[in-house]
Copies of this chain bind each other. A is one copy, B any other.
Amino acid sequence: MDITTQINSFLKKDFPQVTSIVEDIGPQSARVRHQLGEGDLRPGGTVSGPVMFAVADLALYVAILGEIGLVPLAVTTNLNINFLNKPSADKDLIGECRLIKVGKALIIGDVFIYSEGQEQPVAHATGTYAIPPKRENSA
């Protein structure tokens, strides 16, 4: 089972509310896809901010899982998001993450979010995850 499939299975089991899927896990990178549902939209045919936050946070989380293994206890400590352009109400959101620092205690990455097929990103985020220290006796 490749790493992308493994992470999708892990998400399905541990995060059943997450409906996005992981499309690709690369070296210090990940791509996720989110199909918009009725509840994701806002009046005027735009996508709600929390949905874009969720895509950014997930893309970062799965890029980290791809890098350090299935560590469920990694937690977001900081996320800074800029909303750039109005997303399409009828295209999937694509989140592309690249890790920019992989430390022992902190991992930092950035994410561009696109409406599928469009060149200009709809949002950009930078986020930090804290990685729990390894237990001595599990080494």
Measuring CB to CB, which residues of chain A are less than 8 angstroms from any residue of chain B? Answer: 14-15, 17, 39, 42-43, 48-51, 53-54, 57, 72, 75-85, 100-101, 105-106, 108, 110, 112, 120-121, 124, 126, 128, 130
Contacts and interface: CB of A to CB of B under 8 A. Distances in A.
5 contacts: A50-B57, A53-B54, A80-B126, A82-B108, A101-B120
B83 A76 contact: yes
Nearest to A77: B83
Given A78-B78, A130-B105, A14 B43 contact: yes
A130 to B, nearest CB: 7
A85 B103 CA distance: 9
A108 B84 contact: yes
A120 B101 CA distance: 8
The 7 closest A-B pairs by CB, nearest first: A50-B54, A84-B101, A80-B80, A53-B53, A50-B50, A17-B39, A50-B53
Contacts of A106: 77, 130
Contact of A101 (B14, B51, B57, B85): B85
